[in-house]
Amino acid sequence: MSHEFELQHELSLDATPEQVWDAIATGPGIDSWFMGRNQIEQGVHRTAFGGYEPANTITAWEPGKRLATRAPAADDGRFIAYEFLIEGRSEASTVVRVVTSGFLPGDDWENEFEAMTTGLAMFYTTLGEYLTHFTGRTAVPVTAFGSGDYRALFARLGEPAAGDPITITPPGQPPVQGVVYYTNAQTLGIRTGDAMYRFVNGFGGGIVAQHHLFTPGTDPDEADRAWTAWLAEHAS
């Protein structure tokens, strides 16, 4: 079995089209809300996320209006494509429509589609949070993997709901106050004054931390190691 899909998301933002474009079409902008470390160069969007390093071709480039990318099709036909449509509104507001489409082969496509849908909802909500609360700042992206249980970590953090205040203690730092900006059965997003912390139930098991740290001078490799150790301590 296989499945062709198309998902649509819409964001209404208090940001200009130029600010939205910087967030979706530059490496530092994408680093601040998506996943991994990103580069835009010579018509290609490159992402480094653990051992996963996709290179998506840019198929449409209209600054301030439209951006589209597409991953090369795998041998089994699998691919994913993204299209961002930007529409400026009055009083420096913008509507962003995102269309994610592709093809999933194999008998396990339903589980993969569910995991992908959950992850995309988190990504696009994080984009909105970034443009609402961190416009003009760029983040150091953190990617850390843990073999623990997501539900155990979620329970340890108090099983918070969206909008709840929450205290989190980053590795080597004092506790900080934040707010849960998004959560569902597989993901948790926390925003503080200088970071967005995301915990994701890994597809196939384990936990992935996908954070964005806005403190200048943060060493990304050191942060990855610190959060890997944090997951080992807090998610067992």
> What is the structure's pLDDT at 227?
96
| C-alpha to C-alpha distance for 38 and 108, rounded to whole angstroms | 29
> What is the structure's pLDDT at 183?
96
| C-alpha to C-alpha distance for 94 and 117, rounded to whole angstroms | 24
| C-alpha to C-alpha distance for 183 and 41, rounded to whole angstroms | 33
> What is the structure's pLDDT at 1?
59
Summarize the confidence of residues 15-42 as an average pLDDT.
96
Closest CA to 81 of 4, 192, 196: 4
> What is the structure's pLDDT at 2?
65
User: What's the CATH fold of domain 1-137?
Assistant: Alpha-D-Glucose-1,6-Bisphosphate; Chain A, domain 4 (3.30.530)
> What is the structure's pLDDT at 44?
97
Closest CA to 34 of 220, 223, 214, 212: 212
Summarize the confidence of residues 171-191 as an average pLDDT.
95
Options 3.30.530.20, 3.40.50.450, 3.40.109.10, 3.10.20.600; which CATH number does 139-236 get? 3.30.530.20
> What is the structure's pLDDT at 105?
82
Question: For 78-109, what is each residue's pLDDT tens digit?
Answer: 889 999 999 999 878 999 999 999 988 877 77
DSSP readout, 97-153? EEEEEEEEESTTHHHHHHHHHHHHHHHHHHHHHHHHH-TT---EEEEEEE-S-HHHH
Is the pLDDT at 210 greater than 70? The verdict is yes
| C-alpha to C-alpha distance for 52 and 65, rounded to whole angstroms | 29
- Delimiting residues of CATH 3.30.530.20 domain(s) in the chain: 1-137, 139-236
> What is the structure's pLDDT at 15?
95
Range with the poorest average pLDDT among 28-37, 102-111, 120-129, 215-224: 102-111
> What is the structure's pLDDT at 158?
94
Mean pLDDT of the chain: 93
Is the pLDDT at 35 greater than 90? The verdict is yes
